[in-house]
Structure 1
Amino acid sequence: MKGLELFSLEGKKALVTGASRGLGRAMAEALARAGADVVCASSQLSGTDETAAVIRVLGRQAWQVAADFSDRNELERMAREAEEKAGQIDILVNNAGTIRRYPAAEYPLEAWDEVLRVNLDAVFFLCQYFGRKMIARRAGKVINVASLLSFSGGILVPAYTASKHGVAGLTKALANEWARYNVQVNAIAPGYFATDNTRALREDPVRSQEILSRIPAGRWGEPPDLAGAVIFLASSASDYVNGHILVVDGGWMAR
């Protein structure tokens, strides 16, 4: 393969979780623009209506599935439904996540459980479910969504931080085992993006300015800024990239 052919996803089927809005929607649409057909997953079936509509306008197939990501039985049902609708899944993007903000000393255990189940347990379950099939085929791409809080502690988000450290570690652990089967497992660590998860930060004038002052690019990220990273990690261009956490942060980590 030469040039742009390395980045083509023609003939590939992707499953993107958390595809209803924000980063997940942007990544699902980017994969479609590169030639993939996409299963759009979220917690509500109607949540991915707009994403699927855009993908179909692009001339690609789009299917919609939904599940409670904190429920393993629901996840298994959703995974089977995705296969029934689309066939084999060549690219898995684990983007679905949640965040709960409380001081650590008062952090509700039910909030801790919910965040860990959605952000980490669901990622492992889906990696395992589809990874087994990728191993059997000797081909596959897994892209997990980590965070800058995979590297630092954050404030008021101990469960989210623990889950995203876990996602980074899981990504490396799976890469160590699956690379020999031509299955690449990597992660994207978005920086500070303008999404629902960061609304509280963006609406705090002091914290927002503190964040902006550290970003060399001088702006919050926008969901389409992830397009190149997800296409790269989903395509043949990254066939010798494994266990990598690709930071897309406008330079935050370099400051």
Structure 2
Amino acid sequence: MKVNLKNLSKSFENKRTVLKNINFHEEVHSLAIIGPSGGGKSTLLKIIGGLINPTSGEIEIDGNKLSFAENELFKYRKSIGFIFQQDGLFKHMTVLENIIIPLIHVHGYGEEEAKERALSLLKRFGLEKEINKKPFELSGGQKQRVGIVRALAHRPKFLLFDEPTSALDPEYTVEVLNIIKELKDEGIDFIIVTHEMGFAKHACDKVCFLYNGNILEYGNSSEIFTNPSSKELKKFLGKILEWNI
């Protein structure tokens, strides 16, 4: 997908500026957004996903300018898949219902078509035995896998991941990251906000380093990690990798 951000800024009601006049024009297939907490990563992802509006600036996705009118944003959100830090599942619904209900009521699927699509994906991701369970009966990794299935079910144009492993134990983190890598290998475009540097380096083609509301570095993953040019990125990677085995 082609992502074009022009003079993009975001300030909140407390006048705190989170994003500062960002310009970004790239073909994106698998992009990791990294950087310290509070640097604007999740805010940028939510703006690209149409979940919050920028204070100023423009967004184009695949040559189409994004309108910030709510009816247009609703159509746009229906065309993409968003996976959150928390699983975002409906707690009162079963796994199967969590997939089927949005397909029917948001995306216009028939009941049988929705069920067939849901069961196919749940089986693919090893969740066929969990279809009648409620979210509280699932492990953290299982819940995130259900969230990924729900995001994939309507065949989105691309996926956005907002720190999908931040609340998971290490074993479940690996489980979820492996699934995202599989999706990449199948040609599904995505942008991920992550603190998992190994995944960003080895599973994402490009990396964007966001610091204090600005894009300080962008480039091929291998180059960003082996030859960072800014002192801010060198310091960030030094802290992140200090206790790696």
Richer in strand (by share): 2
- Give the number of the structure whose alpha-carbon radius of gyration is greater: 2
TM above 0.5, yes or no, is no
Shorter-chain TM-score category? 0.3 to 0.5
Richer in helix (by share): 1
TM-score by length of 2: 0.35
TM-score by length of 1: 0.34
